[in-house]
Amino acid sequence: MAPLGEITMIPALTRFHKFLRLSLLLLFGVVLSACQATMGTGPQVGQSVRVAMLLPYGSPNAGDDLLASSLENAARLAAAEAVGTQIELVVYPTQADAGTAAAVAQQAVAEGADVILGPLRSDAAAAVGVAVANTNVSVLSFSNNASIAGRNLFVLGLTYDNAAARMVSYAAANGRDRIMVVHARNLAGEVARDAVRRAAAASGATVVGEIAYEFSQTGVVAALPEVEAMVAQTGANAMILTADASGALPLFGQLLPDNGFDTEATKIIGLTRWDIPAQTLEIRGLQGGWFVLPDPNAESAFRTRYQLAYQQAPHNLAPLAYDGMRAVIDTVGRTGRLGGVDFASGSGFAGANGVFRLLPDGSIERGLAVVTLQDRQIILVDPAPRTLGAGF
């Protein structure tokens, strides 16, 4: 692997020292709030930018260290491509623990961080947002949970609102405007359902029915007769499956055609990537369906650059770290500051997954492509926009 810069790591703490340090840092946070007028005001043009990157190194979860390494590599790749901005990247392991993430975030601010990239998961990101709320340091997290966003905290992951807005508007414009939503009876399913409702209201489509299923194989099987009955009753010409490939999507894709579901009359539409893992592309019931992808050209170009730099393929989440660093570089180059209002004031950024912009409420809008499956191959049906205007 070709390193792109010096790695700075925070040593692992013993349980006692971790507790002691967390207590001291939380106490220091009170002092920090009194000094916010002079700390975290951001670098000036031409100065070095200190970026604290919170990553799940040391996590008990299998694979988190590899994911953390890929995220770090992607951020360093973006930093190496910067022109006119000097980046000092300091990595703080979070052990995939929200309390540790909050503690090291406060430590990073105390040590002069201008901005924070990460952490990965929404619980840790929310904790970090609270921990540094009384500073002017922005947090660009890798979460896709828009409910935690706001004030100084942004999310870089693809949100259900973003995917639903793109997918529903395209469906409505192409005659698939009577939509049935099938979602798990859990928080993620309900967030996705609500996103579809909002997207339908904005695009002129109609949500003609909703089916919630228990998040289990038994729940999916039990939902199939309800799906058939609702299509017959409502005349739905599109059905949005909110699940991803790690959830109920493959099972629905297998069982719907086995039970006589007509995927031509009622188009199956997804809000998540169907290409990860690649085996999902083989599922019979998903053939002909529509789903969203990041800009394939931008993603391919990023993967090529990453492969050349590190002699290995990036993790699927690595583009988030590249995009976060790209937002830092472009924002400080444009404004000389890194406050929340500065990130959200521009026209957008060119990222590893295509064009994106950060919104004043802390959420993200990404330019997405609409694709379909034909003979188990991904076919582009509507390219991702190159710029983000009032809509797609």
Cα–Cα distance for residue pair 141/143, rounded to 1 Å: 5
Alpha-carbon distances of 173 from 112, 167, 231, 286, rounded to whole Å? 50, 10, 20, 21
For residues 270-281, give the mean pLDDT. 95
* Amino acid 46: pLDDT: 54
Residue 364 has pLDDT above 60, yes or no: yes
- Are 110 and 27 within 8 A, CB to CB? no
User: Rounded distance, CA 124 to CA 143, Å?
Assistant: 9
Question: Residue 9 above 90 pLDDT?
Answer: no
Kindly give the interhelix angle for 98-110 and 122-131, rounded to the nearest 10 degrees: 40
The predicted structure's pLDDT at residue 1: 34
Stretch 309-320: mean pLDDT = 97
Share of the chain above pLDDT 90, in %: 83
* Residue 18: per-residue pLDDT: 38
- What whole-number distance in Å separates Cα of residue 195 and Cα of residue 328? 28
Of the listed ranges 29-33, 195-199, 312-316, the least confidently predicted one is: 29-33
Distance CA 151, CA 132 (A): 11
Average pLDDT of 163-179? 98
Alpha helices by DSSP H, the chain: 15-34, 64-81, 98-110, 122-131, 160-173, 187-203, 217-234, 249-258, 296-310, 318-335, 340-343
CA–CA separation, 97 and 318 (whole Å): 20
pLDDT for 307 equals 98
- The yes-or-no verdict on residue 204 having pLDDT over 90 is yes
Query: 255: pLDDT confidence band, cut at 50, 70 and 90?
Result: very high
What was the pLDDT predicted at 347?
Answer: 85
**What confidence tens digit (pLDDT) does each residue in 11-56 have?**
333 333 333 343 333 333 333 333 332 233 455 545 689 999 999 9
The answer to whether 199 and 161 are in contact (CB under 8 A) is yes
**To the nearest whole number, what is the mean pLDDT of the chain?**
89
138-155 pLDDT per residue, tens = 999 999 999 999 989 999
Give the pLDDT score at 35. 35
What confidence tens digit (pLDDT) does each residue in 209-251 have?
A: 999 999 999 999 999 999 999 999 999 999 999 999 999 999 9
pLDDT for res 280: 95
- Region of 118 please: left (phi>0), alpha (psi -120 to 50) or beta: left
